[in-house]
Each structure stands twice: as structure tokens, then as C-alpha cells.
Chains A and B, each alone.
Chain A
Amino acid sequence: MRVTFSSRYTGALHAINETAGDIADAQRQVSSGRRLHAPSDDPSAASAAVIEHSELAATEQYRQTADTVAARLAVIDTVLQDLTDQITAAKVAVHAGRGSVPAAQRAAAADSLTAVRDSIFSAVNTQYRGVFLFSGTATNMPPYTRTGTGVSAYQGASGVMQVDIDRQTAVDVAVDAGSLLQGTDPDDLFTVLDRMAAAIRSGDTAALDAGSAAIDRTFDRVNRGLGKLGADFALVTAQHGQLDARTLASKARISALEDANMAQAITAMTRAETAYQAALGAVGRTNRLSLLDYLS
């Protein structure tokens, strides 16, 4: 086969371009640390990476939600603990005010009950970032309001607000104070406490007995609420750990799909550099030779 002037240069140019292209690719991988710059670099990996990024975004979102939920549950937990303390204090006050005790002591016990009522009122009206935690789904409304010297009936919603902390996992993030402080009883705790304060003052033992039973039922309900809250808290904590693990796994899969294997990339770059030098050297050397040089 005849080797012509033009074919020598065309071939050399092609070899130089090809090796220069290899260097550019390898350099891009080494400098960016990524092997996936456009879908055409690896369509299957690009497609899988889209799904994986979406999974990562969802997991991150659930993680953030779990953080918010944990903070809310912590506040609710504090309030419920406070409620049990207050109910215990109410029981102590009732005990102190019953029987043949002086009127002054009864009045003091009755005042204590009123103070307990006010504390419970304040506790259930607790807000977290502007959200009422004990109004059920009606998070913008206080569960109870003052009506003169007393407390209104429950004004919140009966539904319980749930938030998803994973695809199939939701937890309650608000409490329906109506069912907590009243349940199936005819009166709520505030009414019961007011009535008992009056009963202590008047020495109405029967009313005190009925009220004590209602307080006990409320205490039980609050304790059950605390138990459920503890379970939810444990669930959120466990879920958080799982979400952390899933985030790590997603990031690892994304890295495997998108990131360059640096050892391979650097080796490829070195190989491409050598090939480029060889191509340049070969072109430079062979094109120095010409029969014309030998003609005198």
C-alpha cells in the first residue's frame, strides 16, 4: 500500500486527537472526581442515580420530619409529666381538705385545687413554634380559654394530627386534650376541680368522693398517654437511626454510580499521557524523514 504525504498527516492527526481526547476525559474525571458528567457517559447509571437522589431526598425529608416530631414529643412529654404532678398535687389537696379539718385549712386546700386547675390550664395551652399541641388537629386554637373565673369547655378538634416519619410510619404530634382531660366522663377536669374546691369549702364528702374518682380516671388517661408517648418517642428514635443508615447507604450508592474511581482514573490519565507523548514523538520523528533530504 502506498503511503502518501496526506495520509501520513491525516493518520498522525487522528492519533493525536484520539489520545488528546483520552487525556481530556481522564483529566476531567481526576479533576472533578466524577465519572458521570452527562447521561450519555453511562445512561443506566444516570437513570439509577436519579432514582437514588430522589430516595436520598425523601430520606432526608423524613429525617427532618423525625427531628421536628422528636422536639414536639419532648414538649408534650414535659406537659404530660407536669399534668401527672399537678393531678397528684390535686389529690393531696383533696386529702388535706376532707374530714373534720378547720375551715381555714379547707379554704387553703380549696385554693390549692384552684391553683392546680390554673397550672393544668396553662400546661395544656402550651404552644410549640406557635402551634397548640393539645388542640388535636385545630393547632391554631387554644384548647381551653378563660371564662370569667372558670375555664371554657374543650375548643380543639377531636382528631389527632399525625405526621409521617417514613413511608408506612406515622406518629401523633398533637394531643386531643378533650379526650385526655374528660374522656367519657360527663365533666372535664377543670369542672371537676372547681366542683371539688367548692365541695372542700362546703365539706361535701360525697361530692369529693365522686370528684376523686374522676381525678383518678384522668390520672390513668394521662398515664396511658405518657405510655403511648414513650412508645412513639422510642419509635422516632429508632426510625432516626434507620434513616441515618439509609442516608449513608444512598450516598454510598450515589457515589458508586457517579464518582470516579480515582486510582483507575489516575492510571487512565497516566496511560493516556504516555500514549499522547508516544503519538507526538512518533509524528515528530517519522515526519522528519524524507527522501528530499538525501538529494544533493
Chain B
Amino acid sequence: MSGLLGSLSVASRSLEAQQYGLEVTGQNMANVNTAGYVRREVLLAPAAATDPRGAYGGVDVVGARATRDRFLERRLLMERPAEQREQVIANALSLAEVAFGQPGQGLDASMDAFFGRASKLATDPTSITMRHEYVAAGEQLARGFRDMVSRLNTAQRDADSNVRSAVAEANTMARQIASLNASIGLSGDQAANHGLFDRQRLLVDTLAAVIDIDIVQRADGGIDISTAGGRALVIGEGAYELRVSSAPPHGFAEVTYDSTAISRDIVGGKVGGHLQVRDTLVPSYLDALDDLATSLATEVNALHTAGFDASGAAGVAFFTLTGGVPPAAGLAVNAIVRADPWKVAAGGSAAHGDNQNARALAALRDGRILNGGTLTDAWASLVHRVGADTQAAQQEQVSRQDIVRQIEALRESVSGVSLDEEAMMMMRFQRAYEANARYFQAIDQSLETLLNLV
């Protein structure tokens, strides 16, 4: 009798175990689309024998295990910042390069028009129309430089604004990870913390996309996080904030940690990408534009002041550069010439109608005046640099994205949920439940037979 009752107990535990299996399967299926979710696996073990002969004891539910590969997760954390950095650079430069226009339609077209008008002026230096046209072409060219600077400055400001929001995002995530550390530490039971670990993994993954980080695993399951430069962001339950201060001369964001500027140390992640665009790439284009504007103004002014205007007076500077701002941003046609196109120094002598200086101004088109090349060469070189930088970032992004995708696929193959597999497990636990229920029924009937004898 006691044996039969024991068997009933075993059958009951077995039913519970299969039901638990079904529950875990259901949990896996329910979270098939949940970001960061790691598939659970039921762990069952034979229970200690309860009969004197040690034949049976039923089954024990050991628990559920999250199928996680720490190595792959770590690899992903190493690759994610570089992928995000290249994506940010590629996106920003794709926008910036639009400002350069298509060949023959950008600043190069304005330069060609400017030299073309000088050539036209040389055919009739006494014509006020030709002089007006030359001055207008000069104004258009100067405006082209200023517009270009303005567009590149906008790209810089966008990058700066993104740095600020990305740092705020990093701080928010660091706080959430610290808070998770506290919860994980309080719980003490790592096996029961699968949900917290899933969330932890998702947060770390997202944080790595923002800034390159190093991770140290804590014994209690929590994690400590520092920047790649060694600045602690999370230690246990404490989060340490990155701060942003506006630095002169542009008022751009400087990332600081404990009052120390660390912008230069940040290479990867969205922050690293935005900093690269803001502090390295765009400034190099602006420098090239400044060189171009300076050479143009210097050479044109040198010729113009050596020439003579329509009244036979010595020429004044044709272009002016505004003090306190970069040359390309402050390039303008001299107000004196703008107000009176007769001041254009088309003559090489004081004789009215002399066109020698207009010819010389037109010949500047072919003058090797900037780094051994013409102004158009310098512009072509800048266009090439912007295009090559953008193309390199796009290609690098694709290659990094492929690496990340492959690692994600590998991680997914370990941690992801397969509905076919879960359907199989569902069938497996269902059948096991049915079998154990039959066993329960058999014991129950045996007991009934026995009791009917009384």
C-alpha cells in the first residue's frame, strides 16, 4: 500500500516536472520576439530513490538555464563600438558631401564663372555691363565659399549636438546597469535572475554602441564597466557620470570625467564617430576651404592692386577678408568695388580701355598658385578627399556590420528561440505528461482494486 502511495507521489512530481517543461517552453515561445531574451532550457534530474531497493524516486526539477555564450557576447562588445562609429561617420559625411555639389555645379562652377567673366571683361573693359558681371561673379564666388562654410559648420553643430545626446544616453544606461547590479546583488540567487541578466545584456550591448567600454564580471553576477580609456562608469551599484562642458572657441561639447577632458580618448561608438566628424574630418575640409579662399583673395588682390581702374587710378583690393573669422567664412567683394564697378582694375596701365589686367585676372584660372596646382585642382582635390573619406567610411561600415551580423548570428544560434525546437519540446513535454498521467491512472486504479478488496 505504501509503495503504491509512493508511486502516486512520484507520478505527481513527474507531472509537475513535465508541466514545468511546458511552462518554460511557453516562456520561450512568448519571448520569441523579445529583444535581449536568452532562451531557457529546462534542467531535470532523477530524484533520489525512495524505495528500499533504490529503483525509483521520480524526477526533480533542477531549474532553468539560460543558454548563453559569454565569449560571443564579449566579442560583440568589442566589435559594436567600431561598427557604430563607422555608421555615424558614413551617415554624417553622406550628408556633408551633398554640400559639395556635383562636378561643374558647385564652387568650381562659381570659380569658372569668375575667371570667365574676367576673360569677357578683357574683350571690352570699357563696358559697365562687363564690369557689373565680373563683380557679380566675384560676389557669387564669395557667397559660395560662405555657404560652403555654413553647411560644414552645420554638420559640425549636428555632430556636437549628437555628442551631447549620446553622452546623456550613456549616463542613463550606466545608471540603469548600476541599478540592475543592485537588484542582482540583492537577489543572491543567480538562477532566478535570468530576466535581470537579459536586461543587463541588452543594456551593455546598447551602451557599447554609444561608447567603447570594458567590462569586468563581478562574483555576484553584476558587472563593472569602464570606458576603453579606463574611466569607471559603473562600479557595483554606483554609476559615475560623464559630463559635457562647452569649450572655446566654438562652444563645442568637451566630454569630461571628474573634471578631466577625455574627448580625445574616446574613439569608438557613436560618441567617437561624432567626435571624429566634428573635430577631425569637417575641420580638415574647412582648412582646405580656407587655404583656397586665402589663395584666391591674395592672388586676385595682388593683381587688382597692381592694375588701374576705369578712371586711371590704382586698383584697390578686390576681395576682403573679415577679421576674426576664418578666411572662407569672411570672404567678400570689397564694398568700394561693389558700389562702383568702374573701380574694377581691368587696365594694366592708366590708359582708359587697357585690358591687360583683366587678361591677367582671367589667366589666374591656370595659375599654379596653391600647392603647385591651380585653384580648380585644389577644389578637385578637396572633392576627392571628401568622396574618399565618405566611401571609406561606408565600406568600413559595411565590413564592420558584416562582422557584427555574423557574431550576432552565432550568438543567436546559441541564445535565440527556435519555434520548431520549442514545438518539439512542447510535444515532448506534452507526451511525457500524458505518459505520466497514464502511470498516475494505473497506480490510482491499482489502489482502487486494492481498496475494493476490503
Report A's interface with B, CB cutoff 8 A: 1-7, 10-11, 14, 36-44, 46-54, 56-58, 60-62, 64-65, 68-69, 129-131, 135-141, 157, 159, 161-164, 167, 170, 173-174, 254, 257-258, 290-292, 295
Please tell me which stretch of B6-14, B106-114, B260-268, B290-298 contacts chain A, meaning at least 4 of its Cβ atoms lie within 8 angstroms of it: B106-114
Of the listed residues A53, A54, A60, A292, the one surrounded by the most CB atoms of chain B closer than 10 A to its CB is A54
| Chain A residues within an 8 Å CB radius of B381 | 47
Which partner residue on chain B sits nearest A44 by CB separation? B384
**30 pairs of residues in contact across A and B, judged by CB atoms under 8 Å:** A3-B413, A4-B416, A5-B32, A5-B417, A7-B416, A10-B409, A14-B405, A39-B97, A40-B394, A41-B391, A43-B385, A46-B103, A47-B383, A49-B104, A50-B376, A50-B379, A50-B383, A51-B377, A51-B380, A53-B108, A54-B108, A131-B126, A135-B353, A137-B353, A139-B352, A159-B351, A162-B359, A290-B423, A292-B419, A292-B423
B339 at the interface (CB under 8 A from A): no
- A61 near B104 with CB under 8 A, answer no
CA–CA, A145 and B362, complex, Å: 34
With contacts A39-B386, A49-B104, A138-B351 known, is A7 near B409, CB below 8 A? yes
Contact residue among A43, A62, A139 (Cβ-Cβ distance under 8 Å from B387): A43
Residue-wise, chain B 389-430 has the 8 Å CB interface mask toward A (1 for contact) of 011001000000000010011101110111111011011000
- B387 near A49 with CB under 8 A, answer no
Which of the four size classes fits the interface of chain B? 35 or more
- A42 near B413 with CB under 8 A, answer no
- A138 near B353 with CB under 8 A, answer yes
Report B's interface with A, CB cutoff 8 A: 32-33, 39, 93-94, 97-98, 100, 102-104, 108-109, 111-113, 115-116, 119-120, 122-127, 349, 351-355, 359, 362-363, 365-366, 376-377, 379-381, 383-388, 390-391, 394, 405, 408-410, 412-414, 416-421, 423-424, 426-427
CA–CA, A54 and B367, complex, Å: 13
Which partner residue on chain B sits nearest A293 by CB separation? B423
- A157 near B351 with CB under 8 A, answer yes
- B418 near A57 with CB under 8 A, answer no
CA–CA, A6 and B422, complex, Å: 13
CA–CA, A183 and B366, complex, Å: 37
Which partner residue on chain A sits nearest B414 by CB separation? A2
- B123 near A173 with CB under 8 A, answer yes
Give chain B nearest CB distance to A195 CB in angstroms: 31
Of the listed residues A4, A44, A57, A138, the one surrounded by the most CB atoms of chain B closer than 10 A to its CB is A4
A37-B102, A167-B366, A290-B419 given; name 5 further pairs at CB < 8 Å: A49-B103, A53-B103, A68-B123, A138-B352, A170-B359
Contact residue among B124, B416, B419, B424 (Cβ-Cβ distance under 8 Å from A139): B124
| Chain A residues within an 8 Å CB radius of B359 | 162-164, 170
| Chain A residues within an 8 Å CB radius of B391 | 40-41, 43
- B351 near A38 with CB under 8 A, answer no
- B112 near A54 with CB under 8 A, answer yes
- A6 near B353 with CB under 8 A, answer no
| Chain A residues within an 8 Å CB radius of B386 | 39-40, 43
- B418 near A4 with CB under 8 A, answer yes
Question: What 8 A-B pairs have minimum CB-CB distances, sorted nearest first?
Answer: A39-B387, A4-B416, A43-B387, A53-B104, A49-B103, A57-B112, A40-B390, A47-B384
With contacts A2-B414, A4-B416, A173-B123 known, is A39 near B380, CB below 8 A? no
